[in-house]
Amino acid sequence: MPIILTAAAVGLCLLIFVASVIPRGHSEEAIRLFGHAFLERADEYARLRYVSWVMKNAAIMMILAAMTLLQSGGRMYEGLRMHLGDTGGLFGTSLGVFLILTGVTLPFDYYSGFLIEREFGFATQSGISWLGDYLKSAAITMVIAVLGLTALVYISRRFPHTWWVLAAGGYAAFVFLWAMLSPIIIDPIFYRFRPVEDVAFKEKVIQMARTANIKVDEVLEVNASKKTLKGNAYFTGVFGTKRIVIYDNLLRRYPKRYSLLVIAHEIGHWSKGHIRNGILLSSLLGLVFLAILRKTSPTPLYAGDLPAIILLALAFIITTLPLSNAISRLQEREADRVVFDITGDTAGWVDLEIRLSRHNLGDVEPHPVIRAALFSHPSALERIRAAKEYLPQVTPP
């Protein structure tokens, strides 16, 4: 199973790479809406990002495979255990593996997250500022991953028959707590948030939410302009931390009509229970992965096998991307439908999609392989077509 999963992940990466670099044309509809010049520039921007994604994941898999074949994890663990004891050896091995992976991924993340963004005119932060954000993000990821892997090995020792079920329960609890707490603990580390100040705008948002039978906890503006010129908005949180967050770029550069449409889309996610669905899907995928790990690994888990465990996890994540993104695209279409139902402004939505795509250099007509594997949202052309084909729901008498 590990070999099959890894081969599937490598195969998918190869397909994405080929789909990224082969020349492709565009439909007459795309040319009519966006023009040749935009499509050529957007294609180049997309190609660089897709190829960087493939190269980064290929590098991670190669390093982990090499560490597994050379038994580097075992040597690291045994060496540390002699000096630091079992707990210190386990913790130190987890930390060491992730420090190596951070060093491997840094050049790729710098290229895709900063250099490409600067080349295409999006980045507004300096390289030093970007590096500071990267190190903060890496530190948070490392703490969570090291503690999680250490706990996983200990649970497998303490409960040799049921460890994978208990670990799945712990992972589900983590996913839920992350969804609830990250908006108030993690996000403020990177951005500043403040309530949207336009009273009339907020009243319209509240009215839209009432139409969808949703209570909005907060509508916040985030100072995204300190890092990027892109416009966006998103929904986040559960229970008392639920909030709609809208980029200051979007509020300042777009008419309020379009900002309301974006927020209506986020309200659609709430009304359809998409945060709950996301938590359930992540928890289910975690259970499936741990079941695979149980079938393919010795019990209890050996700390020296951490590179192999991480490689299996990465292969599983990549292989299941088409499934998770297909579900995500379905939910995005549902949220779009809510926009049309509560605003009726399909013409505004079409114009918004065109403007956002132009502003963000969106890949409006992706290759089918890339769409299936990497697109969590329908493409701009798909959303434009859906808006044009929309027919209001008619309630029978």
Average pLDDT by stretches of 10, the chain with 397 residues? 89 97 92 96 97 98 96 93 91 94 96 96 93 95 93 93 95 94 92 88 83 78 90 81 86 89 90 92 96 89 92 97 97 95 92 94 96 97 94 50
* Domain range list for the chain: 2-192+268-387
CA 181 – CA 358 distance, rounded (Å): 34
The reported pTM is 0.91
pLDDT of residue 395: 42
Strands 219-222 and 233-236, by their bridges, are unpaired
CA 167 – CA 314 distance, rounded (Å): 18
pLDDT of residue 10: 96
pLDDT of residue 207: 83
pLDDT of residue 394: 44
User: Tokens 């008619």 belong to which residue?
Assistant: 394
Handedness of CA 367, 369, 375, 377 (dihedral sign): positive
pLDDT of residue 286: 96
Residues 205 and 219: beta-carbon distance below 8 Å: yes
